[in-house]
Amino acid sequence: MSTATARRSTTLPSSPIRLTAGGIIRSEWIKLRSLRSTIWAYAVILVLQIAIGLLVISFTVSNLDSSRGQAILQSPELATAGATAGVVFAQLVVSVLGVLVISGEYSTGQIRSSFAAVPKRLPVLWAKLAVFGVVTFIVSLVGILLAYAVTYPILANAGHSSNLFDSAVFLPIIGAAGYLALIGMLALGLGAILRSTAGGIAASLGLLLVVPVIFALIPVDWAHSISDWLPGSVGPAIYQMSGTFEWWQALLIMIGWIAVVFAAAATLIRRRDA
């Protein structure tokens, strides 16, 4: 390397550069798509949705007996039962990815590069939240629609037909994709608080899998009432239109969880040394 090369490349750019919200969002999009873990996790989500949808619907159809069979075939829920069957597994993958989006920066030291470029710091968190939320929603929606598409012929053969543009069909499908995006965002917030991959994954999977079991083991009513408010419990109300809450109440509860977690994450990120 000679001084001549250095001279040529240190010329001032013609247009003045500035830090912008759009630029930070673009930066987070580049970061998300340039990691293998992202590609793998989204591929697994797609495969899970389709495979579990096929499995559930094939099993249901082949076990229809004459007495209850007609009742099941008439039920409107059957149209989306297969399409949303994978959500309960996909939410685990989405949680892990959500944690990795931020903990990966802390464990590698990348966060110092990110915060040196955006010294106000919080725009990085909001951009990550927005980009990851939108991308996860889209990928989940594609997976669920594919699961709907591959289970449709099986159901049609058995005598059940549905219309995707029927609100009883598209609302649960959009709800399921939205729920997965929200679960992923919650995990991202927990990762931002804990700054560690292991800790973040333990916290978010613990909240989904372990905490409900603990509440279920406490033999008093209030424990069960609290259990209904957990993120994993309100999910089915959003994508199966069943459970204690209306879908919009469940959605508000999820958003409340995310708001609380991100308020804590934002406070910590502003205060802590990077």
Partner 1 sequence: MIEAHSLSKKYGPKTAVDDVTFTVRPGLVTGFLGPNGAGKSTTMRMIVGLDRPSGGSVTVNGKVYRDHAAPLHEVGVLLDAKAIHQGRSAYSHLLALGATHGIGASRVREVIEMTGLDTVAKKRVGGFSLGMGQRLGIAAAMLGDPSTLILDEPVNGLDPEGVMWVRELVRFLASEGRTVLLSSHLMSEMAQTADHIIVIGKGRIIADAPVADIVSGATTASVRAVSPRAAEMARLLNSPDVTITSIDGETLEIVGLTSAAVGEVAATNGIVLHELTPLRGSLEDAYMNLTADAVEYRTGVFDPANALQPAAHADPAKIDAPHEHTHAASHAAPTHAAPSGPEALR
User: Smallest distance, Å, CB 94 to partner 1?
Assistant: 19
Does position 118 interact with partner 1 (CB under 8 A)? The reply is yes
Closest CA to 235 of 247, 217, 223: 247
- With respect to partner 1, which residue has the nearer C-beta, 24 or 61? 24
- With respect to partner 1, which residue has the nearer C-beta, 18 or 221? 18
Q: How many residues does the chain have?
A: 274
Closest CA to 125 of 172, 73, 189: 189
Does position 14 interact with partner 1 (CB under 8 A)? The reply is no
Can you state the percent helix, strand and coil of the chain, rounding each to 5?
Answer: 80, 0, 20
Q: Which amino acid is at 81?
A: A
- Name the segment binding partner 1 (CB under 8 A); options: 11-19, 55-63, 228-236, 259-267: 11-19
Rounded CA-CA distance 21/18 in Å is 10
Does position 116 interact with partner 1 (CB under 8 A)? The reply is yes
Output the six-digit token pair for 71. 């009742």
- With respect to partner 1, which residue has the nearer C-beta, 98 or 175? 98
- With respect to partner 1, which residue has the nearer C-beta, 3 or 167? 3
Closest CA to 200 of 88, 114, 101: 101
**Candidate residues 105, 140, 237, 238; the one interacting with partner 1 per rule CB under 8 A:** 105
Does position 68 interact with partner 1 (CB under 8 A)? The reply is no
Does position 120 interact with partner 1 (CB under 8 A)? The reply is yes
How many CB atoms sit inside 10 A of residue 257's CB?
20
Contact residues toward partner 1 (CB under 8 A) are: 1-3, 5-13, 16-20, 23-24, 26-28, 30-31, 34-37, 104-105, 108-110, 112-120, 271, 273-274
